[in-house]
Structure 1
Amino acid sequence: MDNRSQKKESSITQALRQIQQLNSKIAVLERQHQDYVQKQQNLIPAIAEICLSPMQEVQALRILIHRGEAACRPYLRSVLVKQKKTSK
């Protein structure tokens, strides 16, 4: 093989390696996204159960959508605490 075809082959090999790396990163991101969506979906029944007023539900869903599941949980806890205080 001459020098030119060796360079061409190494370029192709390098491109294929980069494609494989990108595919691996894409797979990781897809799994992370699925986990994220699953966590959000798991929280929706809790929102419906915990929130007594439509305004609380809307607020909880806004937090869930814009800031994520981790930010929504403290809000739901605060709603529960307020409910316990009012029920006493």
Structure 2
Amino acid sequence: MTLTLDNRSQNKESSLTQALRQIQQLNSRIAVLEQEHRDYVLKQQNLINAIAEICISPMQEIEALRVLIYRGEGDCRRYLRSVLVKRRKAL
């Protein structure tokens, strides 16, 4: 009888330990995702500031935002570089 109770309590303890480990792993993953999200938001804010500084006309700003939304950060940065290159060539 004592052996059966000990096995049950060990099983419960190992289940609790396993659940606790899984919770800790999830909390770690959540922390990583939160940091990645903060980094992403900061990049987007910096990119939007760059759009405002680089683009001369509202149409360029609209196009840059459109590129950012539909094609992503990399394409938006390429678009902004092309705007700068065109401006330098015009001077």
TM-score bucket (shorter structure): 0.7 to 0.9
Structure number with larger C-alpha Rg:
2
**Structure 2, unaligned runs of 5 or more:** none
Overall identity of the aligned pairs, in %: 76
| Equivalent-residue separation in structure 2 for 1:67 and 1:35 (angstroms) | 19
* Alignment RMSD (CA, Å): 1.6
The answer to whether residue 35 in structure 2 is matched with residue 61 in structure 1 is no
Give the CA deviation at 1:44.
1.6
| Equivalent-residue separation in structure 1 for 2:43 and 2:37 (angstroms) | 10
| Equivalent-residue separation in structure 2 for 1:46 and 1:12 (angstroms) | 51
Q: How does 1:27-66 map to 2 (within 5 A)?
A: 27-66=31-70
**Structure 1, unaligned runs of 5 or more:** none
Match of 2:75 among 66, 71, 80: 71
- In the TM superposition, structure 1's runs of 4+ consecutive aligned residues that sit over 2 Å from their partners are 62-71
Q: How many residues align?
A: 87
